[in-house]
Each structure stands twice: as structure tokens, then as C-alpha cells.
Amino acid sequence: MRWLRIVRSELRKLTTTKMPWAFLGVIVLLAAVTGAAVIWGTDMDGSKGFIATAADQQSLMAFAGNAMMGAALFGAVAVAREFGHGTVVPTFLASPRRARTVTAQVVAVLLAGALLSVIGAVLIVSSVALALQFTEYGFLVPAGGVLRVIVASSLTGAAGGALGAGVGALIRNVGGAVTVVVGLLFISPPMLIQLVPEMTDWVPSTLAWSISGVLAEPGVLAAIAAVAVWALVPVLAGIMATLRRDVV
């Protein structure tokens, strides 16, 4: 199974540099900040209403939106830097079927994005649970809710990783790829909603809330399908660009 060997090679690329550790560091920091917010943070009225109910706590722990953005940045940097450093050359020499190779790259980044996102979700949940010990509120989210938060993070993290990988293959420059990812996931959704209010349910942040069980609309399956579309479009564009362009 040559394709699986390429995926393995791409995973080794990801695990033999410091980049995953840098992202893990950011996740740990995010979890610590969330924990601190639980302990010392208050609503505008000075109350701790934001952790008062199970729904509030699940909303606080819903990491899926951040997971999608973080994994997308991870994927964009991972793939674009391949072109920057030229390490994509030996890969394409060993595996010149470019569509197959880019697909393997996308899958490797997708897996890494999912894993990082699961770790992120677990750390956030743990941090919130630990921090609640120092408040008057207990941990109210049922096991099903916690599981949903973690699964949602893994799904959006996977989609984000794929989206970023597609953008990286398309742009081939780390700065440019990061800019496009931020534009796609952070800047364009509010603009899109301004232009077409009906799109509110279909931007990544809303979809992530829905998959995490925080919002009812759109439905989970529809939200998962929409997140997949957000990821697939850049992936297909990246593959097409790689097929059409010279590698170097």
C-alpha cells in the first residue's frame, strides 16, 4: 500500500520538527487561560453566570471553533513550508503521482489536526473541571456532553487541518497561506453574513457550536457536511494547482 507509506512519511515529517510542540504549547496556554477565567472571571454584572448551568459550561468548553482555526493554521504552515524549504521535492521524486501524494499530505495533516484538537478539547475540559473546584459551582456537564465536545473538536480539527493543507498546497508560501486561512475562517464569515444574512448558520463558528451541541441549528449532520465542504473546496483547489504547476 504505497499511499499508506506516503501518509506515514508525511506523519514522520510532522513529528520530526518542533512545530507540533509549538501548537501544543499554545493549546496548553489556552487551557490555562480558560481555567483562570473560570476561577477569576465574572460576567458584566459581577456574577459567575457563565458557568452557572450545564449549558453554560458546555458552551465554555466547546473547543471546536478554535480547533478548526488552529488546525487550519497548522495545516497551512505544514504544507506551505514544504514548498518553502524544498522538502516537497524529494517527496515528489519518490512519489511523482502528485494527486496521490497531495492527498496523502492532506490526510496526514488532517490526522494531526484531529489529534491536536482532541488533546486541546481534553485539556480545556480538564482545566474547566479543575478550576470549578475553586468556585461555588460543580462540574455539571454530563458525560455525553463532554464526549460531544471532544468529538466535535476532533471533527472540526480534522476539517481545519485539511482546509489548511489545501490552502498551503495552493499558496505555497507560509505567510500567504496563513493570511488566506485567517481571511477564510476569521475575516470572511462576518462579511459573508453582512452580505447574505441567511449564511449565519453556515459559517465555521456557527457550525462548530452546532456540532458541539451548544446550538440547535443547523442540525449536527448538516453542520458536519457543511464543515466538510469548507475543507473540501481548498483541498480540491490545492490538488488541482499542484497537478497543473511545476513543482519547482
Partner 1 sequence: MFPLVVTQLSKSYGSHQVVHDLTFTAGPGRVTGFLGPNGAGKSTTMKILLDLAAADHGTTRIGDRRYRDLPDHARTVGVVLEPDAFHPGRSGRNHLRVLADISGFSLRRIDEVLELVGLTDAAHRRVGAYSLGMRQRLCLAAALLGDPPVLVLDEPGNGLDPQGIHDLRAVLRERAAQGHTIFVSSHLLAEVELLADDLVVVDKGRLVTTGALADLKQAAVTVRSPRAEELAVRLTAAGGTVETASAAGTLTVRGLTTDLIGDLALNAGIALHELASGAGSLEEMFLRWTGDEPAEGASRRSRLIPTAAATRKEAVRS
In sequence order, the 6+-apart residues with CB closer than 8 A to the CB of 163 are: 68, 72, 75, 181, 184, 185, 230, 231, 234, 235
- Determine the interface stretch with partner 1 among 82-90, 174-182, 189-197, 203-211 (rule: CB under 8 A): 82-90
- Determine the interface stretch with partner 1 among 13-21, 141-149, 157-165, 193-201 (rule: CB under 8 A): 13-21
- Determine the interface stretch with partner 1 among 39-47, 94-102, 125-133, 218-226 (rule: CB under 8 A): 94-102
Query: Does residue 12 bind partner 1 (CB under 8 A)?
Result: yes
The count of residues in the chain is: 248
* CA geometry: angle 105, 117, 127, nearest 5 deg: 160
Which of 214, 206, 212, 194 has its CA nearest to residue 230?
A: 206
Decide whether 18 or 143 has the Cβ nearer to partner 1.
18
Report DSSP letters for 180-245, one per residue.
HHHIIIIIHHHHHHHH-GGGGGGSHHHHHHHHHTS--SS-HHHHHHHHHHHHHHHHHHHHHHHHHS
- Per CB under 8 A, contacts with partner 1 among 16-35 are 16-18
Pick one of 47, 49, 54, 86: the residue that binds partner 1 (CB under 8 A).
86
Query: Does residue 172 bind partner 1 (CB under 8 A)?
Result: no
Query: Does residue 92 bind partner 1 (CB under 8 A)?
Result: yes
Query: Does residue 242 bind partner 1 (CB under 8 A)?
Result: no
Using alpha carbons, list the distances in angstroms from residue 29 to 24, 132, 182, 186.
9, 18, 20, 21
- Determine the interface stretch with partner 1 among 36-44, 60-68, 81-89, 204-212 (rule: CB under 8 A): 81-89
Query: Does residue 142 bind partner 1 (CB under 8 A)?
Result: no
Asked whether the beta carbons of 70 and 23 are under 8 A apart, the reply is yes
Q: Provide the residue type at 113 as one letter.
A: G
Backbone dihedral angles phi then psi of residue 142, each to the nearest 5 degrees: -70, 165
Pick one of 41, 97, 173, 182: the residue that binds partner 1 (CB under 8 A).
97
Number of residues that bind partner 1 (CB under 8 A): 26
Decide whether 9 or 179 has the Cβ nearer to partner 1.
9
Pick one of 38, 73, 74, 81: the residue that binds partner 1 (CB under 8 A).
81
The residue ranges that bind partner 1 (CB under 8 A) are 2, 5-6, 8-9, 12-13, 16-18, 81, 85-87, 89-97, 246-248
